[in-house]
Amino acid sequence: MKKKLLFLTTFLSFALSFAQTRISGRVTYKNRGVGEVNVTLKNSYDGATTDSNGNFSFETSEKGSRILVFTHPKYIDVEKPIVIENQEVSVNAELKEQINEIDAVVVSAGSIEASDKKRATALLTPIDIYTTAGADG
């Protein structure tokens, strides 16, 4: 009986030490949900991508003060500090549009000439075609 109680106590302590905490929230731009935003804990592999309504949810075993990073090519990256304990964390983020400009595009025309005027030609016999790897002969 003592062995079973010791095993159960040890098992529960390990289970609690590896407990996962859920992080969830919504990402918006002008009060509308934004899809395909990458939401990650900085310096970890934990994260998720928002759905078409801007909602995300993932579980992590990380604890303590962390930074949640929101990235999308069309928007400026947002970093939010959070504290992860043993309860669910809810974080919402409002994105700002990122303006990408290019100075100019230059299109020019020209021509090139092959440096080797002689064209190498090879004559293949039907047996060469049949025995060449990949041929459908």
Q: Which domains does the chain have, with CATH numbers?
A: 21-94 (2.60.40.10)
pLDDT of residue 131: 78
Q: What is the pTM of this model?
A: 0.64
At 49-99, the pLDDT tens digits run 999 999 999 999 999 999 999 999 999 999 999 999 989 999 999 999 998
Class of residue 60 by CB neighbours under 10 A (exposed 0-12, middle 13-18, buried 19+): middle
At 8-61, the pLDDT tens digits run 666 555 555 567 899 999 999 999 999 999 999 999 999 999 999 999 999 999
In terms of Cα–Cα distance, which of 95, 81, 88 is closest to 42? 81
